[in-house]
Structure 1
């Protein structure tokens, strides 16, 4: 069930600034069957399965569909999963370097306590996705579409949102380090919960985002540089 966005109702005072809240997934998985297969298959169909401590490193699951599944403690190093569809699925404690999820679709997905590096999600579509806890290094979301996505209590190191479209995306108690928003389009993106908030590129694309007064002060040198301003103390 979607939560009603605060401050966006009919009773809001004219001109009151507000940001529409991201709708979080609300998953209720059915009883799951243990996965007992020998590996993923291209265009495979996985429905109502539990993958527990499964070694999926190097597996080829291009175009596969996971629906009503749980992946817990799985190894995903170099897993090839482009154009995969993850629907109504929970991933907990997954780990891996170089996971390829290019052009994947994630809808009503929760990702908890992941330890990932170099994950490729360029050109992907994420809708009603919660990423909670864990650490993700060098997340590639270039030219992806994110709608109703929440990053909560996680650490993102050098995430790349270049050319992406973000709508109703929130960063809650989340570390955002050296993020790239170049050529991105932001609508109702709430950055107030990002600490630290560090931008490597794309500060000129923050129209449509909400930041706190303290963050504005922290970003002042970057904003001044973007505008070509020099800030000098009086002589």
Structure 2
């Protein structure tokens, strides 16, 4: 599906739209385990109102699961696989999902800081609402990902590959896209866009005329152009 610039948001440009995750969960069983385990296999479970801080679930698989209103400070989920799942109202600092796979996942109203997703793969993921500070997506691969109505403070996309990624009604502050590769990345719907580093790597993104005006000083500096009144 192609979204045309004829809708007034692209000035004649076109950008392929992200294929949105639409997660439909089955009837879930309440998880009653004592704690996450490395290489655990969690299928059709609901984790609700739990403190998962510091627990280690490295290499685990979550399939058709809901994680609701849980504390995830320092939880270890490196190389985990999160499939067809919903994470809603999670909160915490320093969750480690480095090298993880998230496919067909909705993250709703999260309040997170310092989430480690470097080297992760995100496919058909929706992040809606909430606030995430210092999101680390270095060297990650994002395809068909939508950020909607959320606040991202100093997200790090350095060296990442983004394809069909949309930012809708988002606030993006202090973004680092150094060395990133972008294809059909739609930034026009961002309510606020501040690129701190890597403005030269925005090739492959689509922005609005107003955003171009805001980015002009950084673009001029990158080109070595002095603007003198």
Give the shorter-chain TM-score range.
Answer: over 0.9
Aligned partner of 1:101 in structure 2 is: 97
Where do 1:38-57 residues align within 5 Å?
A: 38-57=34-53
Other structure's SS at 1:6 match: strand
1:102-123 deviation line (CA, Å, top 9, x unaligned): 0000000000000000000000
* CA displacement, residues 47-76 of structure 1 (integer Å, 9 cap, x when unaligned): 000001011100000000000000000000
Query: C-alpha distance in 1, partners of 2:37/2:67?
Result: 16
CA distance in 1, matches of 2:169, 2:132: 15
Give SS of 2:221's match.
helix
Counterpart pick for 1:212 among 184, 208, 212: 208
Instruction: Using the TM superposition, give the Cα deviation of residue 7 of structure 1 relative to its aligned residue in structure 2, in angstroms.
Output: 3.3
Aligned to 1:11: none
Matched with 1:115 is 111
Summarize deviations over 1:102-160 as a string: whole Å, max 9, x none.
Answer: 00000000000000000000000000000000000000000000000000000000000
Secondary structure of residue in 1 paired with 2:56? coil
SS of 1:112's partner is strand
What is the match of residue 29 of structure 1?
25
The residue that corresponds to 1:12 in the other structure is none
Q: State the distance in 1 between where 2:23 and 2:161 align.
A: 25
Determine the C-alpha separation between the residues in 2 that align with 1:142 and 1:216: 25
- 1:168 maps onto 2:180 in alignment: no
Taking the aligned partners of 1:131 and 1:124, their CA distance within structure 2 comes to 15
Task: Please tell me the root mean square deviation across aligned C-alpha atoms, in Å.
Answer: 0.9
Residues 14-36 of structure 1: per-residue CA shift (max 9 Å, x gap): xx520000010111110000000
Q: Which residue of 2 aligns with 1:66?
A: 62
How far did residue 165 of structure 1 move? Answer: 0.1
Q: Structure 2: any 5+ residue segments left out of the alignment? A: 6-11
TM-score, length-normalised on structure 1? 0.93
| TM-score under structure 2 length normalisation | 0.96
Deviation for aligned residue 1:194: 1.3
Give the corresponding residue for 2:197: 201
SS of the residue 2:171 aligns to:
strand
**Residue in 2 that maps onto 1:7:** 4
Cα deviation, residue 5, structure 1? 2.8
Aligned pair count reads: 223
